[in-house]
A and B are shown apart, each in its own frame.
Chain A
Amino acid sequence: MQKATIQLETLSCPSCMQKIEGAVKSLDGVDQESLKVLFNASKVKLNFDDEKLSLKEIEEAITKLGYEVKKSQAKAL
């Protein structure tokens, strides 16, 4: 398992959160419980199974919605 922190562009509508949450949750290998979309910090934090999923794929799911990823990092748990 890895712990990812993804910094996004400034989020300005709370419904963005629901969208991002929905998109990331639908990925296979995401620890659903750990997923947090921080509106004010404009960050996504989650744990994921790095055998099923890569950080790149998570980023892609978010950018596909139209939100720019500024910085991301993943650390082994």
Chain B
Amino acid sequence: MQRFILGMRNQITLISAILIITAFISELGFENTEIFIWSLVIASILGGAPIAIQAYQALKVKVVSIDVLVTIAVVGAFLIKNFEESAIVTFLFLFGAFLEQRTLNQTRSAIKELTEMAPENALKQMENGEFAEVEIEEVDVGDILLVKTGAKVPVDGTVLTGEGHINEASITGESLPVNKKKDVKVFAGTILENGTLQIVADRVGEDTTFGKIIELVEEAQDSKSAAERFIDRFSKYYTPAVLVFSLLVWLISQDIELGITILVLGCPGALVIGVPVSNVAGIGNGARHGVLLKGSEVIHDFSKVETIAFDKTGTLTIGNPKVADQEIYTDNAAEVLGYLVSVEKESDHPLATAVVEHIGEIKLYPVEKTDVVKGGGIVAQVAGRRVAVGNVFLMEQEKVVLNEKARADIARFEANGNSLVLTSIDGELKALMGIRDQIRPGVKEDLQKLKKLGVKNLVVLSGDNQGTVNLVAREIGLTEARGHMLPEDKAAYIEELQAQGQIVAFVGDGVNDSPSLALAQIGIAMGGGTDVAIETSDVVLMNSDFSRLPHALGLTKATANNMRQNIIIALGVVVVLLASVFLSEWMNMSIGMLVHEASILVVILNGMRLLRYK
């Protein structure tokens, strides 16, 4: 019975409306007081039933909810035979809830679009070898699945047979289809544009990259900031306090009408809903524009950021460095380069990759032993000779003498913005290479936008030499440049800024900078949707798109503002209503309820504006 009544809420609301209109037509048009009263009585009882049931359920779990306040008020109005008030208040409350649900769905639409992209079915190979369509929950790791043209890849997996092009926009933001063939990884939620693939499932459901993105966004939209938790606690005590207050007013003034009016006016409606609405709309907007924000605490912090520190390689630059200049200090170049490539092949450092790529095919030597010198390079034993490959610091450590020409070359290379790779064999300098990385297009304009949004300091932190870093900083308009920094130096620098009371964001690629990402109040990962980036950071820029950064900052500022506006609207309404009941003649329950419901819609509509933020 209870469930039936609650299920009929919308129909009840409509019938109430018709009854109330009938009542007023018969009273005003035909002066028929009998129909007037009976229509209102029926409307009050009908409309009051679902509210009273909800109030009863709330009380059962020891919660004094808004339903409780409204139910008492309506019963009170009914007892003093003010049927007009009881009918209109119940109707407005129900109708308001109906509108709230509709508009709330709108604010949540952006995130819904994302979650609806999750695959629901899969073609799974059954025991008889045939493929049959099953629900996604029935797919386990190790199952073999068939993906046809136009279908969604249901899991993270590896291609067994077949070939095709996959659109991975849902994971990386990149809309150019990627070729996939045997042994290549495919990702859940991406779409096979042509071809047919058989894949084996490596990760399913929430463990897939797409599943993690969805879970992150879903939890983010419901995560609470300190301010929100305060409001939650506040409203927990606020509603019972209103109840007690109205009781006192009634006892002191002996005016039951005044008492129940206060019950309705004191409802905290817009206050509890205002902040979550801004939150969900802001995070939804971000998800749509390739910015994953991990919850409202992040929004709050990021909106007040003063200093943003950037990693250089892969963040400000494209991250694909190339050898731009070279000097060889020996006649036997082939041998030296052979040694160099043999050593560099042992490393996956971006500079090493650039050197190997630059030199190309060459005779290799057996590498007997390698030691990585942190922040320096590699020292190796090759064919019985000691080969050191690295920066100037490493050469000093190896006691390599740098003659005048070498010093001049180094200075020239650095001035051109190169990172240096020096090679010494048995303590003698043999080769010098200058490696340069291209700056991402548009970075300068994006940094300008960040400054306009009120960020005071833009700092680059890099392991490269100071000359290179200075050059980059000048070129794109950073306020400070720090070179020669190891990952722990970067973290220490951030700590130092924080000790001065600054709010610091760090932008990095999420893998080698995880200490800084974790330490900064706002860790921003330039992740092409990788798991590490998603897990260690507070903000993820999908597809490593630097131009999303100003949008992200602007959005958090707009969202934080929006929350503030909603809190002010909500508190303002309660204060004005309560003041006017004592100071004016015209205030009553119905007007109070109308204003309340209107204020709830206002905060929801205000939150919705964030969906359109650009």
State the interface size on chain A (CB cutoff 8 A): 22
Question: Which one of B63, B137, B221 lies within 8 Å of A73 (CB-CB)?
Answer: B137
Check A41–B222 contact: CB distance below 8 A.
Answer: yes
Question: Which one of B2, B218, B221 lies within 8 Å of A66 (CB-CB)?
Answer: B2
Question: Which one of A14, A23, A41 lies within 8 Å of B272 (CB-CB)?
Answer: A14
Check B221–A41 contact: CB distance below 8 A.
Answer: yes
Enumerate chain A residues within 8 angstroms of B276, measured Cβ to Cβ. 14, 39-40
The answer to whether residues A13 and B66 also contact, given A19-B58, A63-B3, A66-B3 and a CB cut-off of 8 A, is yes
In the complex, what distance in Å separates the CA atom of A26 from the CA atom of B60?
11
Enumerate chain A residues within 8 angstroms of B235, measured Cβ to Cβ. 14
Report A22-42 residues with CB < 8 Å from chain B CB: 22-23, 26, 36, 38-41
Question: Which one of A10, A23, A41, A43 lies within 8 Å of B101 (CB-CB)?
Answer: A10
Tell me how far the C-beta of A45 lies from the nearest C-beta in chain B, rounded to whole angstroms.
9
Enumerate chain B residues within 8 angstroms of A19, measured Cβ to Cβ. 57-58, 61, 63, 65
Report B458-478 residues with CB < 8 Å from chain A CB: none
Check A66–B222 contact: CB distance below 8 A.
Answer: no
The answer to whether residues A22 and B101 also contact, given A38-B222, A40-B108, A73-B137 and a CB cut-off of 8 A, is no
Q: Mark B47-78, 1 if CB is under 8 A from A, else 0.
A: 00000011001100111011100000000000
In the complex, what distance in Å separates the CA atom of A55 from the CA atom of B232?
29
Q: Which chain B residue shows the least CB distance to A73?
A: B137
Tell me how far the C-beta of B118 lies from the nearest C-beta in chain A, rounded to whole angstroms.
12
Enumerate chain B residues within 8 angstroms of A40, measured Cβ to Cβ. 108, 111, 221-222, 276, 279-280
Interface of A is mostly: mixed
Does B531 lie at the interface of the complex (its beta carbon under 8 Å from any beta carbon of A)?
A: no
Question: Which one of B3, B100, B222, B236 lies within 8 Å of A12 (CB-CB)?
Answer: B100
In the complex, what distance in Å separates the CA atom of A19 from the CA atom of B97?
17
Tell me how far the C-beta of B234 lies from the nearest C-beta in chain A, rounded to whole angstroms.
12
Does B17 lie at the interface of the complex (its beta carbon under 8 Å from any beta carbon of A)?
A: no
Report B256-284 residues with CB < 8 Å from chain A CB: 272-273, 276, 279-280
In the complex, what distance in Å separates the CA atom of A23 from the CA atom of B59?
11
Check B61–A23 contact: CB distance below 8 A.
Answer: yes
Enumerate chain B residues within 8 angstroms of A66, measured Cβ to Cβ. 2-3, 6-7, 53-54, 57
The answer to whether residues A15 and B101 also contact, given A40-B222, A66-B57, A73-B137 and a CB cut-off of 8 A, is no
Check B61–A18 contact: CB distance below 8 A.
Answer: yes
Does B104 lie at the interface of the complex (its beta carbon under 8 Å from any beta carbon of A)?
A: yes
Interface of B is mostly: helix
Does B438 lie at the interface of the complex (its beta carbon under 8 Å from any beta carbon of A)?
A: no
Tell me how far the C-beta of B151 lies from the nearest C-beta in chain A, rounded to whole angstroms.
22
In the complex, what distance in Å separates the CA atom of A39 from the CA atom of B104?
11
Enumerate chain A residues within 8 angstroms of B108, measured Cβ to Cβ. 10, 40
Q: Which chain B residue shows the least CB distance to A20?
A: B61
Enumerate chain A residues within 8 angstroms of B53, measured Cβ to Cβ. 66
In the complex, what distance in Å separates the CA atom of A39 from the CA atom of B61?
18
Tell me how far the C-beta of A5 lies from the nearest C-beta in chain B, rounded to whole angstroms.
9
Enumerate chain B residues within 8 angstroms of A10, measured Cβ to Cβ. 101, 104-105, 108
Does B445 lie at the interface of the complex (its beta carbon under 8 Å from any beta carbon of A)?
A: no
In the complex, what distance in Å separates the CA atom of A41 from the CA atom of B112?
9
In the complex, what distance in Å separates the CA atom of A26 from the CA atom of B61?
9
Tell me how far the C-beta of B574 lies from the nearest C-beta in chain A, rounded to whole angstroms.
16
Enumerate chain A residues within 8 angstroms of B101, measured Cβ to Cβ. 10, 12
In the complex, what distance in Å separates the CA atom of A34 from the CA atom of B370?
48
Enumerate chain A residues within 8 angstroms of B100, measured Cβ to Cβ. 12-13
Check A15–B63 contact: CB distance below 8 A.
Answer: yes
In the complex, what distance in Å separates the CA atom of A10 from the CA atom of B3?
16
Q: Mark B67-105, 1 if CB is under 8 A from A, else 0.
A: 100000000000000000000000000000100110011
Check B104–A12 contact: CB distance below 8 A.
Answer: yes
Tell me how far the C-beta of B272 lies from the nearest C-beta in chain A, rounded to whole angstroms.
4
In the complex, what distance in Å separates the CA atom of A26 from the CA atom of B273?
26
Enumerate chain B residues within 8 angstroms of A65, measured Cβ to Cβ. 57
The answer to whether residues A13 and B97 also contact, given A18-B65, A26-B61 and a CB cut-off of 8 A, is yes
The answer to whether residues A15 and B58 also contact, given A41-B218, A41-B222 and a CB cut-off of 8 A, is yes
Does B219 lie at the interface of the complex (its beta carbon under 8 Å from any beta carbon of A)?
A: yes
Tell me how far the C-beta of B63 lies from the nearest C-beta in chain A, rounded to whole angstroms.
5
Check A39–B62 contact: CB distance below 8 A.
Answer: no
Enumerate chain B residues within 8 angstroms of A18, measured Cβ to Cβ. 58, 61, 63, 65, 236
Check B273–A14 contact: CB distance below 8 A.
Answer: yes
Tell me how far the C-beta of A15 lies from the nearest C-beta in chain B, rounded to whole angstroms.
4
Q: Which chain A residue shows the least CB distance to B137?
A: A73
Question: Which one of B6, B54, B63, B221 lies within 8 Å of A22 (CB-CB)?
Answer: B63
In the complex, what distance in Å separates the CA atom of A65 from the CA atom of B54?
8
Tell me how far the C-beta of A40 lies from the nearest C-beta in chain B, rounded to whole angstroms.
4
Enumerate chain A residues within 8 angstroms of B65, measured Cβ to Cβ. 13, 15, 18-19
Tell me how far the C-beta of A37 lies from the nearest C-beta in chain B, rounded to whole angstroms.
8
Enumerate chain B residues within 8 angstroms of A38, measured Cβ to Cβ. 218-219, 221-222
In the complex, what distance in Å separates the CA atom of A18 from the CA atom of B55?
12
Enumerate chain B residues within 8 angstroms of A26, measured Cβ to Cβ. 61
Q: Which chain A residue shows the least CB distance to B59?
A: A19
Q: Mark B134-145, 1 if CB is under 8 A from A, else 0.
A: 000100000000
In the complex, what distance in Å separates the CA atom of A16 from the CA atom of B3?
15
Q: Mark B1-20, 1 if CB is under 8 A from A, else 0.
A: 01100110000000000000
Q: Which chain A residue shows the least CB distance to B2?
A: A66
Tell me how far the C-beta of B278 lies from the nearest C-beta in chain A, rounded to whole angstroms.
11
In the complex, what distance in Å separates the CA atom of A23 from the CA atom of B279?
26
In the complex, what distance in Å separates the CA atom of A15 from the CA atom of B58?
8
In the complex, what distance in Å separates the CA atom of A39 from the CA atom of B274?
13
In the complex, what distance in Å separates the CA atom of A13 from the CA atom of B9?
15
A to B CB contacts below 8 Å, 15 in the list = A10-B105, A13-B273, A14-B232, A14-B276, A15-B67, A18-B63, A38-B221, A39-B222, A40-B221, A40-B280, A43-B218, A63-B3, A66-B3, A66-B7, A66-B57
Interface residues, chain B, with chain A CB atoms under 8 Å away: 2-3, 6-7, 53-54, 57-58, 61-63, 65-67, 97, 100-101, 104-105, 108, 111, 137, 218-219, 221-222, 232, 235-236, 272-273, 276, 279-280
Which 5 pairs of residues, A with B, have the shortest CB-CB distance? Answer: A22-B61, A66-B6, A15-B65, A38-B222, A12-B101
7 new A-B contacts at CB < 8 Å, known A10-B101, A40-B276, A65-B57? A13-B97, A14-B235, A18-B61, A19-B57, A22-B63, A38-B218, A43-B218
